[in-house]
Structure 1
Amino acid sequence: MKDGQSHSTLREWRDHMARPRAVAIFAGLAVILTLIAPFETERAAGPLIRFCYWLLVAVLTYAIGSLAHCFALFRFARQPVLRVAISMLITAAGANLVVFGVTLLILSDVPAGLDLLLTIVNISVIAMIIAGIFHLLPDQPAMQEEHRSCALMDRLPLEKRGPLVALSVEDHYVRVRTLAGEDVLLMRLSDAIRETGDINGLQVHRSHWVALDQVKSARRRGDGAILQMNIGPDIPVSRSNLPAIRKAGLLPR
């Protein structure tokens, strides 16, 4: 399921980058930076060239940062410290490549010597701080958009709302597991499943439902199967549900 998970991450990233709000923010930021002309860019080029320069820098650095965030969030879901560190390092490296690449391409001038070193340090520190802030936010906009139709999220505390992983029955309760945490709700599993909205998932056992893009791997066990999730304990699959998970591509046919 690693390929399926990476495809889901890329799809979420592409959708986020293509949203009209994101496009408007990039354009607005480029206009502001064109007008104030920081880092002596006013001397290097005219308004149109400066606009193109700042637009490219804004779009590419944000694209790399948001992709690094999505990758780290899904790849290192169980390791929060490593998740933040990887995201910060990728973002810093990408931001430096973008700034120096676009500067060389459009302005044909990059700093040298000590100025080069100071510029790299400044870009890296700013990029890493911004990347760290992204991971501190309890509710990411991309998550809110993706799960807007999931009424089940409205029942959870704000700090535990996020990509849905699994639902499991515990006595008269349903344990709701997301990438942001877990909570128990007094309701039937069938009602909880109805409230998952358009999230692509399957009931794989009379007591368990899983989001397909959160399944890390699947293996046979006896006359059933076991699903390893991106976060939390494994989920059993009953024999009657084996055809469904084969159809979903989790097990060979």
Structure 2
Amino acid sequence: MNEGPLQLTLREMREMFGSGRVWAGIVTVAVIVGLIGPFQTFSHFSTGPRLGYWLTTVAITYTGGVFAGSLVINAFEYYFKTTNAVLHVMVAGLGAGTAVAILIVLINGIALGDWEIPGFQSFMVWVYCVAISICISTLHYLFDRPKSEVINPPKQVPLMARLNVKNRGQLYYLSMQDHYVNIVTSNGAELILLRLADAIKETDGVRGVKIHRSHWVALDAVAETRRKGSGMVAVMKDGAELPISRGQTEAARAAGLLPIAPA
């Protein structure tokens, strides 16, 4: 059973909302907006109810927007096998903006009855929300990626779409652990419920070789090969030493990891 877009999104949400900085940011924005009182909320509410309204609005729309944007982009990358930057930003912005627009209408309908936000009636609510979400998605994509990814972008391989965004990078190696595959990149490692053979099929664009029944390595991530005991190991860029089994010796030699055997 593979981890699908919904499971990946829920895992990302748990990690995100487990961060104190996220909650601090939500509260800070809510307090600032609540004190300013935009869209006539300053005259519509007294200070306490106004702060409560904006705290509720910011928390719900942020949660809904993040969930919808992440779910849409994870589904897009999962099914279409692409991590194109422009598509990432547009699809995430469209999904998040649509969810936020719906939530704003519902919140105002429940809290304010027939009151409407001046200048944001009907279709324009959706337009503004999508435009703002696309801008936020762009900033997130540009500034929230690891610096190594910005300097040396990883190959856009289908397997990357299965990983948490923070773990996407240059693919190093794949290792079986029980029924899971440990996918190791330049930015981290993540266990995915997947067969090794299926994971290897999703490494298109990366030159690699299976060196053991439990290990596949990207050739560019192998620092060296050396003898260890009675066998050979591939030393990876992150320092891991992966065994090269006797049954995979010829494949490793053909890939250039081992010297050509003397005639």
For 2:30, the equivalent position in structure 1 comes to: 30
Query: Quick one: which of 96, 101, 105 aligns to 1:100?
Result: 105
Q: Following the alignment from structure 1 to structure 2, what is the Cα–Cα distance between the partners of residues 28 and 51?
A: 11
DSSP 3-state at the match of 2:214: helix
Unpaired stretches in structure 1, ≥5 consecutive residues: 141-155, 167-177, 190-200, 243-253
C-alpha contact 1:139 1:161 (8 A) present in aligned 2: no
- With over 3 angstroms needed to count, the CA separation of the structure-2 counterparts of 1:236 and 1:181, relative to structure 1, is same
For 2:16, the equivalent position in structure 1 comes to: 16
Query: Quick one: which of 91, 98, 103 aligns to 1:86?
Result: 91
CA shift for structure 1 position 64 = 3.0
C-alpha contact 2:97 2:126 (8 A) present in aligned 1: no
- With over 3 angstroms needed to count, the CA separation of the structure-2 counterparts of 1:80 and 1:99, relative to structure 1, is same
Please list the CA deviations of residues 55-82 of structure 1 after superposition, one character each: whole Å capped at 9, or x if unmatched. Answer: 1221222223333454425752433332
C-alpha contact 1:64 1:95 (8 A) present in aligned 2: yes
Instruction: Give the partner amino acid of 1:241.
Output: S
DSSP 3-state at the match of 2:62: helix
C-alpha contact 1:73 1:83 (8 A) present in aligned 2: no
C-alpha contact 2:57 2:107 (8 A) present in aligned 1: yes
Q: Following the alignment from structure 2 to structure 1, what is the Cα–Cα distance between the partners of residues 64 and 27?
A: 17
C-alpha contact 2:89 2:141 (8 A) present in aligned 1: yes
DSSP 3-state at the match of 2:145: coil
For 2:228, the equivalent position in structure 1 comes to: none
Q: Following the alignment from structure 2 to structure 1, what is the Cα–Cα distance between the partners of residues 130 and 213?
A: 53
CA shift for structure 1 position 124 = 2.8
Q: Does 1:182 align with 2:182?
A: no
C-alpha contact 1:68 1:91 (8 A) present in aligned 2: yes
For 1:202, the equivalent position in structure 2 comes to: 175
CA shift for structure 1 position 219 = 7.2
For 1:111, the equivalent position in structure 2 comes to: 116
Q: Following the alignment from structure 2 to structure 1, what is the Cα–Cα distance between the partners of residues 14 and 89?
A: 21
DSSP 3-state at the match of 1:111: coil
- With over 3 angstroms needed to count, the CA separation of the structure-2 counterparts of 1:125 and 1:158, relative to structure 1, is closer
Instruction: Give the partner amino acid of 2:214.
Output: N
- Flag the structure with larger Rg: 2
Q: Following the alignment from structure 1 to structure 2, what is the Cα–Cα distance between the partners of residues 121 and 9?
A: 25
Instruction: Give the partner amino acid of 1:159.
Output: V
- With over 3 angstroms needed to count, the CA separation of the structure-2 counterparts of 1:126 and 1:110, relative to structure 1, is farther
CA shift for structure 1 position 39 = 0.6
Q: Does 1:157 align with 2:163?
A: no
Q: Following the alignment from structure 1 to structure 2, what is the Cα–Cα distance between the partners of residues 61 and 162?
A: 32
Q: Following the alignment from structure 1 to structure 2, what is the Cα–Cα distance between the partners of residues 231 and 48?
A: 56
Please list the CA deviations of residues 134-190 of structure 1 after superposition, one character each: whole Å capped at 9, or x if unmatched. Answer: 2222526xxxxxxxxxxxxxxx83526899x99xxxxxxxxxxx9655389xxxx8x
For 2:257, the equivalent position in structure 1 comes to: none
Give the count of matched residue pairs: 193
For 1:193, the equivalent position in structure 2 comes to: none
- Structure (1/2) with the larger helix percentage: 1
For 2:139, the equivalent position in structure 1 comes to: 133
